[in-house]
Amino acid sequence: MPPRVDGVLFRATIGCRGLTVEKVGQFYSSTVVPASDKNESDQTQCVLQLNSYSVCPDTDRAMGLAPHTDTSLVTLLNQCNINGIQVYQDGARWVVVEPVEGALVVIVGDLMQIVSNGRFKSVLHRSVVNNTCHRVSTTFFLGPWSDAEVSLLRKLVDSAHPPLYQPVTGEGYVQLKYTVFNKALESICV
């Protein structure tokens, strides 16, 4: 890869990581977790993914990316001002996420659902192609190191909110997701 492009991707990754860690920090704040429990961001890794979706003359016969939830803690998506992501709303219908100039879409992943003991739900979504223009998107995933244990924050457990999920390692969950796909969360329910 040319050094100029490599430098741009590196800076984008560093910027996205900082923003995502900030969002995870806001989650901690919203759940009233003391500072001493906020050490998990030291055990995170990130991936920056560039996606390209060609023009498709018959959009009913092609899918950009099948319905899924993200494995990550948090995903940031830049739609590059062309819609192409849809979320499944209320278990009933697909809703287009309209792009907003200069905005990122923040997607809660499965691992955040585990850590939050179900307080934050991972989002079923899909990517679709369109018949008028080539679409490019940039996706940033923040997750744990493969050997890091992912478990709920104990401060979120009480008599009204019992534990919902068994602890799992980052790699263990990735393997589980590979095996049972969108039933991975169900398979680690307590």
The answer to whether residues 134 and 52 touch, using CB atoms and an 8 Å cutoff, is yes
**Residue with token string 């990735």:** 174
Exposure pattern of 78-109 as b/e (b: 16+ CB <10 Å)? bbeeeebbbbeeeeeeeeebebeeeebbebbb
CA-CA distance, 71 to 73, in Å (whole number)? 7
CB-count exposure of residue 148 (10 Å: 0-12, 13-18, 19+): middle
CA-CA distance, 93 to 96, in Å (whole number)? 10
135 tagged catalytic: yes
For Cα atoms 6, 128, 50, give the angle at the middle one, nearest 5 degrees: 5
- Catalytic residue from among 17, 126, 135, 154: 135
The answer to whether residues 60 and 99 touch, using CB atoms and an 8 Å cutoff, is no
Catalytic residues: 135
